[in-house]
């Protein structure tokens, strides 16, 4: 089952697409929703997603800006656009950014099904190409060793696509192999490395929490605080306070 992110500033459309289309029948599950491109990028930073379905016209960061940012980050995640008739030419122009397909509003059941059947078949094709040859166990170990080393050295901007390119594998196939052998998703392992590094940095009381946030790859301190709390069960400041009690050291914020 492939994971889908739906991005649209119209809540009714977002909720309708999430709740009323039978995604599982075409091989997808909705991983989440976002109301604009900026929030979509933040979601993708923390979650493994296989496909993005995005509106073109949105406040803050529109669909074009979203896919452009993804490509600049090196992500080749498939993106399908939602566009009104008046945006038809705009949507076609966006194809130069590698947009997989587009669906016209108002959305129709048959069109969504047809588009996402093609998307799934494309993803399956990448999967079967890699799975056609069984990897020997020692080769898998070598691959995982390369991937974990890549993450540990490039955790600030590590991506599944970057790791897959490094070991010459399809990203979706690498994701499944990584999960099967390590027991956690690629994104979960990246977060683990980031949070462990954050803990190490927080022990240096000369560094502010916002500085630590940026050093481990979070431009938004609130996103960092949420991720840290999820990983450690407490906020960065609470964790640092606990270290202060243990060591007797003080710090200035």
Render pLDDT for 175-209 as a digit per residue (tens, 0 to 9): 888 888 888 889 999 999 999 999 999 999 899 99
- Per residue in 13-52, pLDDT (tens digit) is 998 999 989 999 999 999 999 999 999 999 998 899 999 9
Number of domains into which the chain is organized: 3
- Please tell me whether residues 127 and 141 are part of one structural domain: no
- Report pTM: 0.52
101-104 β-sheet, strand order: 28-34, 2-7, 51-55, 79-83, 101-104
Same domain, 169 and 194: no
Residue 194 maps to which CATH number? 1.10.10.60
Pair 153, 96 in one domain: no
Q: What is the pLDDT of residue 156?
A: 92
pLDDT at 30: 96
Regarding whether 113 and 63 lie in a shared domain, the answer is yes
Q: Which structural domain, as residue segments, surrounds residue 16?
A: 2-131
- Does residue 163 lie in a domain region? yes
* pLDDT value for 83: 80
Residues 121, 38 share a domain: yes
Let me know if residue 252 belongs to a domain: no
CB atoms closer than 10 angstroms to residue 185 = 17
* Amino acid 244: pLDDT: 75
Q: What is the largest CA-CA distance in the chain?
A: 65
Nearest to 234 by CA among 208, 199, 188, 184: 199
Residues in the chain predicted with pLDDT less than 70, given as ranges, are: 85-97, 126-138, 245-253
Query: Does 151 lie in the same domain as 31?
Result: no
Secondary structure letter of residue 219 according to DSSP: S
The answer on 159 and 55 residing in a single domain is no
Are residues 79 and 10 part of one domain? yes
Residue 253 forms part of a structural domain = no
pLDDT (0 to 100) of residue 175: 87
């Amino acid at each position: 089952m492939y994971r889908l992110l739906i991005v649209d500033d119209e809540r009714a459309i977002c909720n309708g697409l999430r709740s009323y289309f039978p995604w599982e029948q075409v091989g997808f599950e909705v991983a989440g929703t976002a109301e604009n491109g900026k929030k979509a990028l933040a979601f993708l930073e923390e979650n493994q997603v296989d496909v993005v379905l995005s509106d073109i016209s949105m406040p803050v960061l529109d669909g074009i800006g979203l896919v452009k940012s993804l490509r600049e980050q090196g992500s080749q995640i498939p993106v399908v656009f939602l566009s009104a008739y008046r945006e038809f030419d705009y949507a076609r122009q966006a194809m130069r950014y590698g947009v997989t397909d587009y669906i016209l509003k108002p959305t129709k059941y048959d069109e969504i099904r047809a588009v996402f059947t093609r998307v799934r078949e494309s993803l399956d094709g990448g999967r079967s190409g890699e799975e056609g040859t069984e990897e020997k166990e020692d080769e898998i170990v070598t691959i995982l060793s390369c991937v974990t080393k890549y993450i540990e050295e490039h955790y600030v901007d590590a991506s599944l696509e970057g790791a897959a390119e490094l070991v010459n594998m399809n990203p979706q196939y690498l994701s499944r192999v990584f999960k099967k052998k390590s027991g956690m998703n690629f994104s979960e392992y990246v977060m683990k490395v980031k949070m462990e590094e954050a803990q190490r940095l927080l022990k240096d009381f000369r560094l502010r929490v916002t500085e630590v946030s940026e050093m481990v790859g979070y431009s938004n301190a609130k996103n960092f605080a949420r991720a840290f709390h999820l990983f450690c069960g407490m906020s960065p400041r609470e964790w640092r306070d606990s270290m202060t009690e243990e060591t007797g050291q003080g710090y200035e914020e």
